[in-house]
Amino acid sequence: MRVNFIYVRHGQTLFNTISRMQGMCDSPLTENGIHQAEDTASALRHEKIDHIYCSASERAWDTALILAKYHGIQPVCMKELKEFDFGDLDGKHFERFKDRIQPHRIADDWTDVNGENVPLFKERSDRGFEKILSSCKDGDTVLLVSHGSFFMHLMKTIFDYDQQEYIRRMREQNRPFIPNAGIALFTYEDGKYTLTQEPMSATEYRNRVKKKVTFYFVRHGETKFNVEKRLQGWCDSPLTEKGKQQADTAKEALRNVSFAKAYCSTTERTRDTAEIILEPHHMEAIPDKRLKEVFFGSYEGCHYENRWDEIMQRNLKNDWKDAGGEDAAEITFRIHQFFQEAADEAKDGDNILCVSHGDLYMNLLKTLFLLSKEEVYKISDREGVNPMPNAGIFIFTYEDGVYTYDHLMRDPQTIGKS
């Protein structure tokens, strides 16, 4: 019988960030740890998974629940999959207790502080794998969510892998032994376990498979607030008749593009624009809040001409936090997350429509292409064009983890023209 295993370490935890030993004891996932688990979940979304097992520690269970969302499988918790037991030194600070911790690390024996040694670890991990294999049939794939030191000890026990040589290589490359939410692959076949892929990040995992996806990013048509020169982020106003005509022009420019999927911001101006564009395609856009415009806080709805210098200064810095809005980090995160997940969901060769907003587009250029707003404004001034015209179209590609583009956003009337 052959069984394939996808091994994932839990996401970053509180104890990971404050350098405390973390074995049988537990600490919660950080916000970053949750995001790491979500990223790994997206990278694994198309994998055929038949079973999900996880350590009984909550940090692993919470990670497993995130990973399970694309597969419709309830994770099974197992105490046999918990982290290596460091006994009385569990929870201790690495640096403050270094003199006590280091000798146990070197000997890999923590029994004199009521913890485990390698034989004890092997005994319980073997029990765990026996239980898992008893539920499997030939060809099954098991997603296993556990811990860093647990995996390192599997190298010594079931894999017969040169752990010290692996540690040396990782240190030379300045890589973690197994990153939080990192992925490793191994197989079981006729009584033998074989490590087939050393631990890697979610990004490295997804880049093993060649894929090219083309995104068509479209700004909504002109709105009432655009005409009145009001700042319009999360607030909304309806498309004007001109805005509907602009969307119709974008529809004609994109009529012959075969879209595998379409997304739009949740605001009505983008949903209405997407509906017009997609009329020939007989499909609907999926609303996603991550495609919403930048949130300008208390500046929402104000006449921007009356406060131009103040607003432009904030706009260039992407900092509206003290006004109750977003800052650059929040904007950058949702852009990265949305487009990575959209690319993960897509198949090689897919075309994806995204109907969104002007300032989000400007932030997209900074996030994915390291092109600042100042640079975009200079290019547009030099070419005598609007940097983000209503119903403007920006085409870019995602290929093997890299984003590229040929031209900045163009008026839909110019698409296909030299």
Say if residue 84 is in the same domain as residue 187: yes
> 158, 179, 206: which is the final residue of a domain?
206
For 193, the domain range is: 2-206
pLDDT score for 298: 96
> 161, 187, 206: which is the final residue of a domain?
206
Say if residue 151 is in the same domain as residue 255: no
Q: Copy the structure tokens of residue 369.
A: 């292409």
pLDDT score for 128: 98
Pairwise CA distance, residues 69 & 63, whole Å:
11
Residues whose CB falls within 8 Å of the CB of residue 312, separated by 6 or more in sequence, listed in order: none
Give bridge partners of residue 184 from the DSSP assignment: 7
Q: Which residues are catalytic?
A: 220, 293
Q: Label the pairing between strands 76-78 and 393-399.
A: unpaired
Whether the Cβ atoms of residue 153 and residue 121 lie closer than 8 Å to each other: yes
Sheet containing strand 2-9, strands side by side: 76-78, 51-55, 141-146, 2-9, 183-189, 192-200
Pairwise CA distance, residues 253 & 292, whole Å:
23
pLDDT score for 343: 98
142 phi/psi in degrees, rounded to 5: -110, 125
pLDDT score for 418: 45
Say if residue 293 is in the same domain as residue 397: yes
pLDDT in tens, the chain (418 residues): 999 999 999 999 999 999 999 999 999 999 999 999 999 999 999 999 999 999 999 999 999 999 999 999 999 999 999 999 999 999 999 999 999 999 999 999 999 999 999 999 999 999 999 999 999 999 999 999 999 999 999 999 999 899 999 999 999 999 999 999 999 999 999 999 999 999 999 999 999 999 999 999 999 999 999 999 999 999 999 999 999 999 999 999 999 999 999 999 999 999 999 999 999 999 999 999 999 999 999 999 999 988 899 999 999 888 999 999 999 999 999 999 999 999 999 999 999 999 999 999 999 999 999 999 999 999 999 999 999 999 999 999 999 899 999 999 999 988 755 4
Whether the Cβ atoms of residue 391 and residue 246 lie closer than 8 Å to each other: yes
pLDDT score for 417: 56
Pairwise CA distance, residues 141 & 50, whole Å:
5
pLDDT score for 414: 82
Structurally, how many domains does the chain consist of?
2
End-to-end CA separation in angstroms for the chain: 60
Say if residue 218 is in the same domain as residue 152: no
pLDDT score for 416: 59
Say if residue 365 is in the same domain as residue 284: yes
Q: Copy the structure tokens of residue 303.
A: 């006449």
The enclosing domain of 385 has a CATH number of 3.40.50.1240
**DSSP string for residues in 266-326:** SSHHHHHHHHHHTGGGT--PEE-GGGSPPP-GGGTT-BGGGGHHHHHHHHHHTB-GGGTS-
Say if residue 266 is in the same domain as residue 135: no
